[in-house]
Amino acid sequence: MKKQLVLYFILILATLSNAQDFDTALQNISGQLATVQSGKKEYQQSVDSSGPGIVILHIDEVDSKGKTKSYVYEFNLADIDPNTVRAYAKHDVFTVSMTTKKKQKLIKKTLDNEKTNYVYELIIYATDPDNGRNLVKSIKEAIPAARKILDKRLALHGYTERLNWLKKHIGNVELSKKQITQELTEKSDYPGSVSLHKNIITGKNEKDKIFDFNLAYLNPKQIDFYINGDVFGLKIATKRGKKLIKLTENNEQKAYTNKFYIATKNVEEARDLQKVLMDIIPLAKQKLEAALPEVSGLQDGIKTLNGLIESVKVNDTEYGQNFSGDCIINFTQNINEAKKSYSDLYEFNLADLNKKQIKTKTKGKVIVVELNTKSDHKYIKYSRNDELKGYKSTFNIYTPGPEQAIVVQKVLKKLTMKCQEKFDPKKQKPLDFNQAAQLLQENLKNFNIGDTGYEQSVDFTDGNKNLKYQNVITNKSSSKELIYEVDLSDLNPKSIKIKVSGKKINVEIATKHLEKLIKYYKDGKIQAYQNKFDIPAPDIETARNIKRALQNLIKK
């Protein structure tokens, strides 16, 4: 504490010393400014300051008829590039010009106390070449003092102190034709979560906007000065341009955006705001990451997910969502729109997801977590209002905001890794013949897909050497019986794969070298020999079990 106080007093003394240096330099400039007469105009010049480092230059331009234009230039000398300060003759008058660093429009120019805009170049007038050279020297000497003041004038510590400063200093801006009311408030959802309420009145038009965002998601390298007519401020963008800023306009939620601006009264306010924002963003990121929940197991993870996405509302649309299950998941979405309601069900195994393709995305007015299967396999069963629609490789989970989306993404990745360990084929114990046969028989289920029914059975003959598979397929208008007989040793275990087409799932198995060794009967009549056949399944897990059983049978 004592060390901090010593540093604080050293900083105060250094600031006072720099301020005195600047005042002395400004007095030198002021002493060299004079009224300058050209052939047609007279330039009356004076300079003062509104604060350490800040210069206010008054130039009254009087023409031959006595008509006066009054210019006021307000700027920080620290912004001036000393290499651009030079004296030269311009027609019948000697001038001194200067520009800002990188030609940023940081010089506020006001004409006759009415019209204001921002420029990057400034010209003052000298009585003669010697006066011009002296002004150049004095201006160049004043710039370092202004820069020292700028470097030391704002000393804040920690996240909380900076956040309090932002809440205090983001305020209202009154312009000639526009009123901008601004308020930054802290939200309790997550560290770094804030809300910027902005009301803009231009004549008879009024816009009320609310920007909800997390400071951690802003890009410190994209906080730039914003200039639009007489409006000065900062334009601020998110990292990688992601649309993570929730925008509500006149009480209606709009599409998420990736940028916004904050208006300030002048350049100096914008500069201070820029510095504090750049400093607080990494601190907000640290706090947010430390606050994200950790999950201990599958059920804990499911509970965390449901707590985050249970209810999401966007204007007149509500999303009720729920996870149930362990690794094999039923995910329900009840969607209530203004004119219709429906219920979607997604059934899938977390082990089938590609953990690298669990990602957050902005879709208009909502942020979703997109899930994708490995190799884009269509292993996600999709039903709407209890009617099977087919199988998909991807779907979206709706979230209330970017922080919740990040947590959902993080938890799902962790659960996916746990389930992939559980279902890792390399960790499965090999089955003996009886175990594999029992597993196959248990999973050759009788089931229906729409109006089509499947009745399946399997037998083993010739001392369990041969496999006989029977499938009776019926629909409203017809029925057919398919029988396949094959020596197990002729089948290729590496050929076994799960195939999905529309609403149908089949386990396909082929012979070694695709030789036509499978005897095939249709409705009791022998057909041409085949090199492969399909076993239909009602769902992916059943198909997975059939595949495992066949692989173990063939190995034996």
Show pLDDT as tens, one digit a residue, over the chain (556 residues).
Answer: 444 433 333 333 344 455 677 888 899 999 999 999 998 899 999 999 988 899 999 999 999 899 999 999 999 999 999 999 999 999 899 999 999 999 999 999 999 988 889 999 999 999 999 999 999 999 999 999 999 988 888 888 999 999 999 999 999 999 888 999 999 999 988 999 999 999 999 988 999 999 999 999 999 999 999 999 889 999 999 999 999 999 999 999 999 999 999 999 999 999 999 999 999 999 999 999 999 888 889 999 999 999 999 999 999 999 999 999 999 999 999 999 988 999 999 999 999 999 999 999 999 999 999 999 999 999 999 999 999 999 999 999 999 999 999 999 999 999 999 999 999 988 889 999 999 999 999 999 899 998 999 999 999 999 899 999 999 999 989 999 999 999 999 999 999 999 999 999 999 999 999 999 999 999 999 999 999 999 999 999 999 999 999 999 997 5
Reduced to 3 states (helix: H, G, I; strand: E, B; else coil), residue 427 is helix
**pLDDT given at position 430:** 92
DSSP states of 9-74 as a string? HHHHHHHHHHHHHHHHHHHHHHHH---EE-SSEEEEEEEEEEETTEEEEEEEEEETTS-EEEEEEE
**pLDDT given at position 6:** 36
Cβ neighbours of residue 434 under 8 Å, at least 6 residues apart? none
**pLDDT given at position 51:** 85
- How far apart are alpha carbons 320 and 306 in whole angstroms? 10
What are the beta bridge partners of residue 421?
A: none
Element (DSSP H or E) covering residue 5 = helix 2-32
**CA-based nearest residue to 213, from 172, 184, 180:** 184
- How far apart are alpha carbons 265 and 17 in whole angstroms? 27
- Residue-range domain boundaries for the chain: 2-152, 158-290, 298-425, 433-555
CATH 2.30.29 for domain 2-152: yes
Residue type, 234: L
**pLDDT given at position 3:** 43
**pLDDT given at position 22:** 86
- How far apart are alpha carbons 193 and 255 in whole angstroms? 19
Is residue 111 within 8 Å of 71, Cβ to Cβ?
A: yes
- How far apart are alpha carbons 318 and 308 in whole angstroms? 14
DSSP states of 116-162 as a string? EEEESEEEEEESSHHHHHHHHHHHHHHHHHHHHHHHHS----HHHHH
DSSP states of 291-310 as a string? HS----SHHHHHHHHHHHHS
Phi, psi values for residue 552, rounded to 5°: -75, -35
**pLDDT given at position 285:** 96
**pLDDT given at position 388:** 94
Please state, in angstroms and as integers, the Cα–Cα distance from residue 415 to each residue in 31, 72, 349, 360, following that order.
74, 64, 11, 16
